[in-house]
């Protein structure tokens, strides 16, 4: 008891650094904030893809959320991190709590005086031991509390990583879908131009047969037609590749996806404007930024754990047991009698004073890793701002490009009609018709590609703003079939309840990390 009294004042001691979130390099506003299409109002972007008003895209996102295997893998790692947190919490309690026992049939040698002095035991006998041990290393320097803090931050970081995977998944589904619709439009444009170019070829053949022109016009028309026809298999191959990629995102084999895309709505049209808030909003909305900060929090606790090894470790240990044997004058019935009971209790300490700098260098190594993660956090914030700016720039400038290309298509279409009319009248040569055909096809193809790029750029901006992960609120990290598979294999207790029961609460949009660990009973 006196040992406990002496050690009590030290119980509140805790070594190691206190984590301080680094100042993130943030801009005050976005470069495109003065553009009428960019609003600085705040949004949560929970369902940002619905801004395209495309039911097929909405359905694809829902399927991907339920079936994507990469997301399921991230969800399983969240459960792993929660179980590791339970391990860390268990270290706060007595580290050794065990029962032991043995029953041995023994024959001692008569020739060994060290084990059988004076040949006191001539025959064989039984010996039975029952007992228990308890050992509790006191957390005087905060080593185990730092362990809980580190595991808690790692658990939250795994959730942020899951959210980042979800944000990336939604963005990839949207990009793939937009690419598919763009390629479908490009195939349709190529086929429409093939029809027009075949009509021009027929005119050239008729004029050649009538002697109004040479066969050169026919060959030139066939050349342009073949080039346009050759674009169709190229776009078709790209279309199939995008469909295969989308199938994998949906967690399905790369087979035909016509059943999901049978209703063609063209390239998803972006909304007229986008709300982007201010750069500071990224610090709490972007999952990868949260994950980077929480990784630094976890590592800061690791520094404290390493530094605690520099100080002596105090342990309270005790053992209680009973022993009985069938040696002469004894019997196994004495196992639970007072003479057979033995116990020991007392404090001890250990202090690795001569460690040749190993502990100190471990502290330095952990601190260097912490510094690297703090720098990584700042870099993550910078990259997040760049991604938003890139998406906004592509969206704003892409819309201007589309406006010009629409004028180009209109002019090219009119030029082709005039060129064909004048060629039929004999006032223009066929080269003018060919040039007009090529210009029209190029302008139409560029227009649909630019429209797709505008939608992709807006998707990039929304994803960079950190939206979409909020749809997991109230949902499990792994779907029902996976949850039941894991429950059938391992006892997950309250961490993975049966279907219909709620799991322990998980953070949604966390504020500043809770740096003081809350010691909760582990899930035994």
pLDDT tens digits along 77-109: 999 999 999 889 888 888 889 999 999 998 877
Owner of token pair 């330095």: 364
Residue 387 lies inside a defined structural domain of this protein = yes
Question: Which pLDDT belongs to residue 9?
Answer: 43
Residue of higher predicted confidence among 507 and 141: 141
Question: Which pLDDT belongs to residue 256?
Answer: 72
Question: Does 1 have pLDDT greater than 60?
Answer: no
Domain boundary among 294, 323, 350: 350
Whether 519 and 148 have beta carbons less than 8 Å apart is answered as yes
Q: Which domain holds residue 325?
A: 96-138+313-350
Whether 470 and 162 have beta carbons less than 8 Å apart is answered as no
Question: Which pLDDT belongs to residue 512?
Answer: 35
Whether 499 and 483 have beta carbons less than 8 Å apart is answered as yes
Same domain, 256 and 402: yes
As beta bridge partners, residue 129 has: 102, 323
Question: Does 291 have pLDDT greater than 70?
Answer: yes
Question: Which pLDDT belongs to residue 29?
Answer: 83
Question: Which pLDDT belongs to residue 503?
Answer: 57
Residue 440 lies inside a defined structural domain of this protein = yes
CA gap 366, 348 in Å, rounded? 28
Same domain, 345 and 437: no
Which tokens sit at 157?
């970081």
Q: Name the domain count of the chain.
A: 2
Same domain, 450 and 329: no
Same domain, 427 and 453: yes
Question: Does 507 have pLDDT greater than 70?
Answer: no
Coil, helix or strand at residue 89: helix
pLDDT tens digits along 181-201: 999 999 999 999 999 999 989
Q: How far apart are the first and last CA of the chain?
A: 30
**Whether the predicted model's global pTM rises above the 0.95 cut:** no
Domain boundary among 473, 489, 508: 473
Handedness of CA 29, 30, 35, 38 (dihedral sign): negative
What is the number of H-type helices and E-type strands within the chain? 11, 6
CA gap 463, 461 in Å, rounded? 5
Mean pLDDT of 500-518: 45
Strand order in the sheet with 124-137: 96-107, 124-137, 313-325, 341-350
Closest CA to 299 of 359, 366, 379, 364: 366
Question: Does 228 have pLDDT greater than 50?
Answer: yes
Cβ neighbourhood burial of 427 (10 Å; 0-12, 13-18, 19+): exposed
Question: Sorting pLDDT into bands at 50, 70 and 90, what band is 501?
Answer: low
Question: Sorting pLDDT into bands at 50, 70 and 90, what band is 40?
Answer: confident
Same domain, 323 and 305: no
Residue 427 lies inside a defined structural domain of this protein = yes
Question: Sorting pLDDT into bands at 50, 70 and 90, what band is 409?
Answer: very high
Whether 301 and 369 have beta carbons less than 8 Å apart is answered as no
Question: Sorting pLDDT into bands at 50, 70 and 90, what band is 155?
Answer: very high
Domain boundary among 350, 378, 411: 350
| Whole-number Cα distances in Å, 131 to 100, 116, 259, 321 | 5, 25, 68, 4
Question: Does 504 have pLDDT greater than 70?
Answer: no
Question: Sorting pLDDT into bands at 50, 70 and 90, what band is 15?
Answer: confident
Question: Which pLDDT belongs to residue 223?
Answer: 92
Residue 36 lies inside a defined structural domain of this protein = yes
Question: Which pLDDT belongs to residue 524?
Answer: 52
Residues 6+ apart with CB under 8 A from 249: 64, 68, 169, 172, 173, 176
Percent of the chain surpassing pLDDT 90: 52
Characterize the bridge pairing of strands 341-350 and 313-325: antiparallel
Mean pLDDT of 409-415: 94
Same domain, 324 and 306: no
Same domain, 128 and 266: no
Pinpoint the alpha helices (H) of 46-142.
Answer: 55-67, 69-90
Residue 61 lies inside a defined structural domain of this protein = yes
Q: Provide the CATH number for the domain around residue 158.
A: 1.20.1600.10
Question: Sorting pLDDT into bands at 50, 70 and 90, what band is 222?
Answer: very high
pLDDT tens digits along 445-465: 999 999 999 999 999 999 998
- Phi, psi (degrees; rounded to nearest 5) at 76: -65, -35
Mean pLDDT of 57-77: 95
Residue 207 lies inside a defined structural domain of this protein = no
Which tokens sit at 477?
């990290």
Characterize the bridge pairing of strands 274-275 and 38-39: parallel
Residue 394 lies inside a defined structural domain of this protein = yes
Owner of token pair 């040698």: 109
Same domain, 396 and 287: yes
Question: Sorting pLDDT into bands at 50, 70 and 90, what band is 506?
Answer: very low
Residues comprising the chain, all counted: 524
Same domain, 409 and 289: yes
Same domain, 86 and 162: yes
- Written as one string, the DSSP assignment of 298-342 is HHHHHHHHHHHTTS-EEEEEEEEEEEEE-STT--GGGGGSGGGEE
pLDDT tens digits along 312-366: 999 899 999 999 888 878 888 888 888 889 989 999 899 988 887 899 999 999 9
Mean pLDDT of 2-12: 43
Residue of higher predicted confidence among 8 and 378: 378
Same domain, 265 and 320: no
Cβ neighbourhood burial of 186 (10 Å; 0-12, 13-18, 19+): buried
Residue 453 lies inside a defined structural domain of this protein = yes
Which tokens sit at 120?
């006191």
Percent of the chain surpassing pLDDT 70: 90
Same domain, 53 and 34: yes
Question: Which pLDDT belongs to residue 498?
Answer: 73
**Mean pLDDT, the chain, whole residue set:** 86
Q: Provide the CATH number for the domain around residue 343.
A: 2.20.200
Question: Which pLDDT belongs to residue 39?
Answer: 80
CA gap 444, 375 in Å, rounded? 47
């Amino acid at each position: 008891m006196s040992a406990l009294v002496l050690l009590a004042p030290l119980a509140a001691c805790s070594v190691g650094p206190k984590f301080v979130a680094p100042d993130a390099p943030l801009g005050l506003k976005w470069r495109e904030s003065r553009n009428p299409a960019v609003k600085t109002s705040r949004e949560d972007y929970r369902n940002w893809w619905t801004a395209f008003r495309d039911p097929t895209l909405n359905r694809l996102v829902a399927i991907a959320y339920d079936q994507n295997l990469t997301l399921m893998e991230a969800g399983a790692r969240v459960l792993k991190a929660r179980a590791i947190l339970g391990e860390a919490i268990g270290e706060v309690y007595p580290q050794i709590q065990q029962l032991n026992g043995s029953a041995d049939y023994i024959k001692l040698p008569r020739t060994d005086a060290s084990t059988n002095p004076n040949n006191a035991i001539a025959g064989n006998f039984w010996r039975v031991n029952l007992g228990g041990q308890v050992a509790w290393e006191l957390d005087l320097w905060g080593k185990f509390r730092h362990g809980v803090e580190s595991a808690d931050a790692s658990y939250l970081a795994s959730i942020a990583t899951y959210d980042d995977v979800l944000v990336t998944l939604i963005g990839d589904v949207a990009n793939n879908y937009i690419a598919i619709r763009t390629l479908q439009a490009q195939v349709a444009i190529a086929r429409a131009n093939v029809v027009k170019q075949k009509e021009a070829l027929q005119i050239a053949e008729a004029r050649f047969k009538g002697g109004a022109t040479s066969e050169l016009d026919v060959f030139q028309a066939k050349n342009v037609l073949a080039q346009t026809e050759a674009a169709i298999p190229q776009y078709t191959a790209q279309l199939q590749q995008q469909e295969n990629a989308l199938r994998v995102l949906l967690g399905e084999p790369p087979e035909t996806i016509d059943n999901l895309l049978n209703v063609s709505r063209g390239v998803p049209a972006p909304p007229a404007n986008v709300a982007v808030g201010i750069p500071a909003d990224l610090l709490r909305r972007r999952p990868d930024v949260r994950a980077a900060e929480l990784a630094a929090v976890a590592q800061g606790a690791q520094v404290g754990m390493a530094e605690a090894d520099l100080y002596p470790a105090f342990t309270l240990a005790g053992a209680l047991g009973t022993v009985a044997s069938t040696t002469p004058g004894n019997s196994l019935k004495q196992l639970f009698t007072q003479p057979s009971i033995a116990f020991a209790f007392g404090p001890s300490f250990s202090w690795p004073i001569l460690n040749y700098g190993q502990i100190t260098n471990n502290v330095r190594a952990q601190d260097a890793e912490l510094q690297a993660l703090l720098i990584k956090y700042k870099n993550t914030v910078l990259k997040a701002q760049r991604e938003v700016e890139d998406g906004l720039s592509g969206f704003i400038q892409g819309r201007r490009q589309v406006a010009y290309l629409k004028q180009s298509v209109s002019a090219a279409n009119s030029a082709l009609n005039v060129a064909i009319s004048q060629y039929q009248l004999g006032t223009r040569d066929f080269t003018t018709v060919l040039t007009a055909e090529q210009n029209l096809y190029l302008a139409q193809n560029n227009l649909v590609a630019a429209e797709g790029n505008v939608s992709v750029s807006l998707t990039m901006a929304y994803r960079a703003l950190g939206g979409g992960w909020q749809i997991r609120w109230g949902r499990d990290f792994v779907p029902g079939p996976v949850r039941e598979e894991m429950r059938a294999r391992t006892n997950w207790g309250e961490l993975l309840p049966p279907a219909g029961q709620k799991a322990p609460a998980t953070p949604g949009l966390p504020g500043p990390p809770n740096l003081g660990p809350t010691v909760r009973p582990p899930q035994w």
